[in-house]
């Protein structure tokens, strides 16, 4: 070894015990290099062949899994949004339907009420007309009776005052004349 100049004198006898600074003791170099080559070589081979590809694979798998999960989540969210949109559309459709139904029901009800009111009004008008004719009739009769009563009353008054009963024709003439005034 190139380091033999440091420890050549001491290398022969007592290993590392004879005042020699151990890291510079060239007698141990061969053994250190040999076992370093064995252990580090083994470490390198196992890391490059087994450990690092395995860890790289684990990390890549995880990344792929996370990405696919995120994609699935995005698709699920899209589906949920579509469903919400469809629900909204159905809801507004149903609202419009309900309004239409309420509108037509209201119209039908008011039409029915109108027809019934018209029928009742017509009925009432007919009754009114009948009553009016009856009143007119009765009024005419009553008026005819009034003249007769007036003649009787006038004849009675005149008889009481004058003591003589007037002629019926004269009384009737006088009544009609005073009624005309």
Judged by phi (left if over 0) then psi (alpha if -120 to 50, else beta), residue 147 lies in: alpha
Q: How far is the CB of 59 from other proteins (least distance, A)?
A: 6
Is residue 82 a contact residue for other proteins (CB under 8 A)? no
- DSSP symbols for 72-112: HHHHHHHHHHHHHHHHHHHHHHHHHHHHHHHHHHHHHHHHH
d(Cα 98, Cα 92) in Å, to the nearest integer? 10
Which of the stretches 61-69, 86-94, 126-134, 140-148 binds other proteins when contact is defined by CB under 8 A?
Answer: 61-69
Q: Calculate Rg over the CA atoms of the chain.
A: 68
Between 44 and 87, CB nearer to other proteins:
44
Q: How far is the CB of 8 from other proteins (least distance, A)?
A: 14
d(Cα 152, Cα 146) in Å, to the nearest integer? 10
Which of the stretches 30-38, 85-93, 104-112, 166-174 binds other proteins when contact is defined by CB under 8 A?
Answer: 30-38
Contact 33, 21 (CB under 8 A): no
Q: How far is the CB of 38 from other proteins (least distance, A)?
A: 8
Is residue 87 a contact residue for other proteins (CB under 8 A)? no
Is residue 50 a contact residue for other proteins (CB under 8 A)? yes
Is residue 13 a contact residue for other proteins (CB under 8 A)? no
d(Cα 14, Cα 31) in Å, to the nearest integer? 16
d(Cα 3, Cα 10) in Å, to the nearest integer? 13
Which residue from 4, 48, 77, 110 is in contact with other proteins, where contact means CB under 8 A? Answer: 48
Is residue 73 a contact residue for other proteins (CB under 8 A)? no
Interface positions with other proteins (CB under 8 A): 3, 15-17, 21-25, 27-40, 42-44, 46-48, 50-52, 54-59, 61-62, 65
């Amino acid at each position: 070894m190139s380091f033999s100049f440091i420890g050549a004198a001491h290398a022969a006898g007592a290993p590392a015990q004879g005042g020699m600074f151990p890291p510079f003791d060239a007698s141990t170099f061969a053994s250190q290099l040999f076992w370093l080559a064995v252990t580090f070589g083994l470490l390198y081979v196992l890391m490059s062949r087994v450990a690092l590809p395995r860890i790289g694979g684990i990390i890549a798998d995880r990344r792929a899994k996370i990405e696919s999960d995120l994609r699935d989540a995005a698709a699920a969210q899209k589906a949920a949004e579509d469903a919400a949109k469809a629900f909204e559309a159905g809801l507004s459709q149903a609202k419009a339907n309900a309004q239409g139904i309420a509108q037509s029901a209201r119209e039908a009800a008011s039409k029915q009420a109108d027809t019934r009111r018209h029928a009742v009004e017509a009925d009432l008008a007919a009754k009114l007309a009948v009553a009016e004719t009856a009143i007119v009739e009765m009024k005419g009769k009553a008026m005819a009776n009034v003249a007769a009563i007036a003649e009787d009353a006038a004849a009675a008054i005149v008889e009481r005052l004058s003591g003589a009963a007037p002629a019926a024709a004269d009384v009737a003439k006088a009544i009609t004349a005073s009624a005309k005034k």
